[in-house]
Structure 1
Amino acid sequence: MSFSTLRRRRNRETIKEESAQSVDERDDSCPLLGDDDRPSSIVKPQRIRNVHVIDNGLVTPKRSFTQRIMGRKNRLIQRVLVACRLTEPSKDSTFKQVQMKIRTKIEQLTAIRTSLHDHSQSIVKLSTAIYCFADSLQDGPTNIARQIRDVALTFSDQVGESILAKIDLRVNEFERIDALIQSRAKLVLDVEYAKRTLAIEHQKGNVNRIAERKQALQTAQLECEKATRFITDHLKFLSPNQATDVLKLCQEVRSINSFTVEIAGTETQT
């Protein structure tokens, strides 16, 4: 066998060994350092195991990949069942949707209130300017200008007393329910915290602490149930009034249009 043939065989074996080593390092999620890369410390590198996360001061084991996948699958199945009306959504998801709708309504009602207020004030300013201009003329239509101003002031008073006051009342009710839902969310966190601390005390086996944690859990659950019933009762009272509020608002808008037509007709006569 020639020297070149032996050399090629040795090179192939060396390449195979290096490729096998690279494959082993690539499969390792935390590969060890090489001889040249190792620190000078005498401590041997070790792979990290049993990773824990800290949640509200409590050390809990990290969920595995399979557990996370199963949790996502269960949430997806629950959403599909709720969408198909085969099951009822949980109170947490229901209140979260209600809270989003309430905040949207608050923004809409606030925009309506701002527009109505600006509109009424602009009409008052316009009628006052017309009256001042007519009064400055020698033969100006002062009487007609005064009528325009009186109609504008009446319109502004009606907007403030009948429409804006009702909108403010409804916005305050929505804001109160939003605050109640926010408070209930904090109570839910208290219940979850009480459950975790009770589980830890069960692991430790401390009988006195277990009794205290059970009492704390029962108190937290009772407060959460009270808040849930209170919010549910308010939502039942609020839902039938929404259609009535829309009807009343449409009626008030018609009255605003009638005032606007009356002012326009008076200006035309001028």
Structure 2
Amino acid sequence: MNDVINTILNHRSIRHFEDKQLTDEQIQTIVSCAQAAATSSFIQAYSIIGVKDIEKKRRLAELTGNQEYVEKNGHFFVFCADLYRHTIIGEKENLDLNPSLESTEKFMVALIDTTLAAQNAAIAAESMGLGICYIGGIRNDLHSVKDLLNIPDRVIPLFGLAVGYPAKMTDKKPRLPFEHVYHENQYNQDTGQFTRQLDEYDQLISNYYEARTNGQRQDRWTEQIAHMLSKQTRMYMKEFIQKNKLDIR
């Protein structure tokens, strides 16, 4: 396997970073790699906010559930789905783009564009010997994040990306088996096979947690996910999106 594949397959979330900031050159390289990602119809519907100000990082750490690594890292990126610039494009070209910009399709395009860019950034950072951790907790309180970072309408912060020099390496979590994720020619709806695969994966994950915690934790993956999904979280999201003039048609 080549170095790119090895980098991708060696991914793990890093939550402890050295007290060492990224250089401006490193930041620019990571953002340039993000921009090299595929983008639907060249629309480039995302923006990236780099947060260096320590007070803002501290506040973001609070908003994301007191996650210390949001404050203490080499650099913190906030990836935003962005159709604000396209509003300006409509004004510049004297065209009414609102019906399109307020459609579910363009909302999805912005989400996809942003995610593709972020994953390019993550791989670039890891290829440079840095560690990364995605921060979905940004969505705990988007109103406050929007105010803190002076974000206009039609821009939605989707997630953060903490990047830095790893101070502590974590174990890789085993992913779902290939056969459970990859379907040939059509979706495999064999429930019995699905259940058997999940049973095998549950045992693998239970063993992983037991080894990692010296026997203090043995929960299964399906148990963990079912428990998480049984709780309703961030249920304000639809209202927030609509108030920000996105996805309302």
Specify the TM-score bucket, using the shorter chain as the normaliser: under 0.3
* Structure in which a larger fraction of residues adopt helix: 1
Higher relative strand content: 2
Structure of larger gyration radius: 1
